[in-house]
Structure 1
Amino acid sequence: MDKALSGVRILDMTHVQAGPTASQLMAWLGADVIKFEPPTGDVTRGQLRDVLNADSLYFTMLNCNKRSITVNMKNPVGKEVFIALLKECDVVMENFGPGVLDRLGFSWKKIHEINPAIVLASIKGFGSSGPYADFKAYENVAQAMGGAMATTGFMDGPPLVTGAQIGDSGTGLHFVIGILAALHQRQRTGKGQFVEVAMMDSVMNLCRVKFRDHQRLSRGSLAEYSMPTDGLKDTPRSGNDSGGGQLGNAIKCKPGGPNDYLYVVVQEAVWDALARRVGGEALAADPRFTTIQLRRKNQQEMWRLLTEFASNHAKWDLMKILNEIDVPCGPILGTEDLMND
């Protein structure tokens, strides 16, 4: 079947998660991806293995739709194989440590000489220039240095990594965008480009809304946050606050297990119906909550009242109740929930 990237051949030298995420996405879109591994194989083939004598799920879930070849790049014959593949491919991807490809004798200039139309796509922790260029990065290092950890968690606790792999898989998404742009431009110029994505930059981009709040802090407090923000220089860790134009938070439901929560967004348009459902006419007319400005000011009490109501309902039941009055909401789903949904 003809797909968007049918006819595109990718030589994928990347390993672990960020690069393989990108090449897998492009393979799903129709590209022919050749995974180029050292004789020992991608390290994730054996990492976190739970089935004896089989490649780990960590490896297969990121590489299941690719062809594979093992080549020793420190051997002259291996380099000849690499050169032959460069001549047949549209894209070559790598996420080696800083300078590794150059030391093997394959700088961007050399690769471009071998195949002027090829796109060289590179993932680095912090890019190939600047004060951090020689440093290595992993998922959580990128989260730490890209602004994610400082803004995740609660202000009375330590910074936290997020469960979503924004440092690796998030970088992979940015990588795909850059590669597709280079392939599109090649249609006009006939020449390949060097594409580089830094993990730190990718995390910063995914945290862009937090930099919106950073600017706003210099002009006053952030009323949508449930904790005081006066005098802060950094965007705070906001717990489960939505941190947006509409108030939102996770409210605890029965029976009170670790994932028995419903995330609720209190839009302006739904407050009247929500208040009546939770507390009748008395809550709907309560002067503490009649405008969004007042609900922001008194949100701790608002969330207390909503949580008291939620304590009588399981999360799925409460979701149904609130959806009947158009309140945006969703239960916190664990991995077991999702695997059986």
Structure 2
Amino acid sequence: MDINKIGVVIIGRNEGKRLIKCLNSTLTENTNVVYVDSNSTDNSVKNAKDSGAAVIDLDMSKPFSAARARNTGWQYLIVQHPEIEYIQFIDGDCELQTTWLEQARGFLHNNTEYAIVCGRRRERFPEATLYNQFCDDEWNTPVGDALSCGGDALIRTKCLQEVNGYKDFFVAGEEPEMCYRLRQNNWKIFRLNEEMTLHDANITRFTQWWKRANRSGFAFALSAKEHGKEKEKYCVREAIRPLMWTGAFFTILILSLFSPFLLITLLIFPLQIIKMYLKKTDKSLYGLKSCLFLMISKFPEALGVVDLMIKTIKKQDYTIIEYK
């Protein structure tokens, strides 16, 4: 593998020991590594410099987003190393698997119609909390052609240049949105059946899970606002669905004040949970819990959609929704 053709962009803030593991995993594979730091107050910048990676302190006078951090990273790399043909993006709380870059580069080299290749991201401690296990399931996406990728992926440099990378103002959902634009340009995305990264979600509280779901709703709404009127109606359904479920719940509650008998219609919620559970191959207690939380997630997602609407009406800057 010609390592000079691959660059690595790491983004993070206050990742501590997780960043050290991330740096060590990438530097063993590739010397063209840049770490973009977003105002860390721990030793992240020092640790990155000590590792030998190039370090950029993101300009925090502008609204922060992971999208802007990633753009800053890959644009720096192609100026410093114009020979780079592929960029591996990785979050600072992840660790790159040993064989990933070779497998991913080989795929893109042999399949020129593909812009992006991603693999299996796994949670480092999936059994630590129920929420970590939810994340691990979320990362277990179908193998084959895909509509989008997550934050960890190997991407052709020319494709990043073609669509000008991520949209800086996307404070959530920036990766699928860029994938959407690439697909409009007839590029394809592939999910390899290979181990890619280890991730440490470290979600230990319900409130963290709630904020993460809230961020998803915001991402759906922002994506629908940007591309919802186009042929694919991108993310329109995902943005409307939580509003419908949440709206139905509160409408029933309000109407039941006048006719308590209407409370029986709230049974649509447990019935929907049962319906989802019966469709799952996993009939364990965990499978039932995942369906329950999927239904509950509609409420924070709806709040995220509403938050996007309010910020748009007031012409406010979009701000990141942190759950760690």
| Larger RCO: 1 or 2 (CA < 8 Å, sep 6+) | 2
Query: Larger radius of gyration, structure 1 or 2?
Result: 1
Structure in which a larger fraction of residues adopt helix: 2
TM-score, length of structure 2 as denominator length = 0.27
TM-score, length of structure 1 as denominator length = 0.26
